[in-house]
Amino acid sequence: MDGRRRRLWMSRLAWVFAIAAAPASCATMHGSGGGSADAVAVSYTPPGDPASDVVLAAATGGPGVMPTPRPASPGDPFRDALADAYKSFKSLGEGKNADYIPVLAKVDPGLYGLVLVTVRGAVYEVGAARDEFSIQSVSKPFTVARAIETAGPDAVNKRIGVNATGQKFNSILAIDLFKNIPSDEKHVIPAGNPLVNAGAIATVDLVPVPRGMDKWSVIMGNLEAFAGRKLTVNDEVYHSESETNTHNRAIVQLLKDYEVIEGDPMQALDLYTRQCSVSVSARDLAVMGATFANGGRNPITGVQVVSSQTAAKVLAVLSTAGLYETTGEWLYKVGVPAKSGVGGGIMAVVPGKFAIGTFSPPLDPAGNSVRGQRAIEAMVQKLGGNVFAAKPVGRAHETKAEASPPFGPPAPVTAIAGTN
């Protein structure tokens, strides 16, 4: 690496550790998970000081003064979208907590929180918005963001792949399918995609570590920079998964055999399991998503966590496998890149506008939170966030004279030129 790239690399890493010193965001509105469906109290926190253009300046604390949350006013479209979605799905009883990680089965299935963060840093939250749960697979996009940023987009594409697997998140079959259909000799991609277990563990193996640092600090510091606060590992979840992750152990041995994992496969798995056990809230997921929505810059702290090019690549990957084998249906119905985790969290991103974080533990058969999906769908529809949707802008087909043969006479040139 040349001197300039190395300096850039090191300065990017500086915030990762500086952020650890940042105070946790105010936790006054700690979610109860309860509340009557009729009296939906959505809280609103206005944006803090304008984000600094000096990207590293905010790393030690974000905006000078954290504004205080206050009740959001009816009539505010974000508030109304949250309140309606919360009310509509509060009593939805579908789905089941994950139980293949034993401790997850014990989480209260009634917990339900919704948070929306705009790219300007406004925060709307309702219900169990600050209750913590294990991030699980929602951690995957952040570590691959760091890998794209530091190892480069080509390295991630070549070692891991970015196409949809179309299979379950822990599919071994998918690994062998990719192994058997290499696009060329030098481009064998057995891991498949960074958002399924195989690819995510391979990403942990791949992510570069600067000299004098350890890999866990890079992974954790990165998650903290996205969240804009210090995070912790839930030891109970970490031990529960470590004792039972026999399927993931099979995956890493296969990836080692296929030379996708270059280091110690059990060490990569251990780091990945710890990464999945990090505690976050729906609010954290919304802030982390808003960092992607805001071109890689955390809208609360003002820290440029990854470049906007990296953020765009991660959102593209979310669109291939963010909700695993049901990602196609999700995009078809809702039209926003999103990532789910078996802890019950979902992060959905509307680039350039806002992100949503949801928490509700009962899952569908693919491992995606049922209420989270429904709430995001309703909010995105109401707020017009579908990234594929466009209002017609070009001139409407107004007069008969403009129709081309065989449906009408050729349009006069002047009528076509029109006003655009």
Sign of the CA dihedral 270, 271, 274, 276?
A: negative
Residues 6+ apart with CB under 8 A from 152: none
According to the binding rule CB under 6 A, does residue 248 interact with ligand GLN? yes
Q: Which of residues 129-158 bind ligand GLN (CB under 6 A)?
A: 136-137
Nearer to ligand GLN, 25 or 248 (CB): 248
Cβ nearer to ligand GLN, comparing 112 with 324: 324
Nearer to ligand GLN, 281 or 304 (CB): 281
- List the structure tokens of 301: 């702290």
Q: Is residue 118 involved in binding ligand GLN (CB under 6 A)? A: no
Cβ contact 235:29 at 8 Å: no
Under rule CB under 6 A, residue 169 binds ligand GLN: yes
As given in the structure block, the two tokens for residue 273 are 């399991």
Give the strand order in the sheet containing 354-359: 70-71, 43-45, 123-127, 113-118, 354-359, 345-350, 338-340
Looking at the Cβ atoms of 98 and 293, the one nearer to ligand GLN is: 98
Site string (335-374) toward ligand GLN, x via CB under 6 A:
------xx------------------------x-------
Nearest to ligand GLN of 88, 279 (CB atom): 279
Q: What is the dihedral of CA 38, 39, 43, 44, to 10 degrees?
A: 70
> Rounded to 5 degrees, what are φ and ψ at 243?
-75, -20
276 binds ligand GLN (CB under 6 A): yes
- 170 lines the binding site for ligand GLN (CB under 6 A): yes
Nearer to ligand GLN, 98 or 119 (CB): 98
234 forms part of the interface with ligand GLN (CB under 6 A): no
CA distance 130 to 363: 20
Instruction: Decide if residue 199 touches ligand GLN (CB under 6 A).
Output: no
3-state secondary structure of 363: strand
Q: Which single residue brings its beta carbon nearest to ligand GLN?
A: 137
**Local structure of 67: helix, strand or coil:** coil
Q: What is the CA radius of gyration of the chain?
A: 22
The correct pick among 241, 270, 284, 377 for binding ligand GLN (CB under 6 A) is 241
Q: In terms of CB distance, is 113 or 367 closer to ligand GLN?
A: 367
CB of 146 to ligand GLN, least distance (A): 18
Exposure string for 331-347, b = 16+ CB within 10 A, e = fewer? beebbbbbbbbbbbbbb
The site for ligand GLN (CB under 6 A) is made up of 136-137, 169-170, 197, 241, 248, 276, 341-342, 367
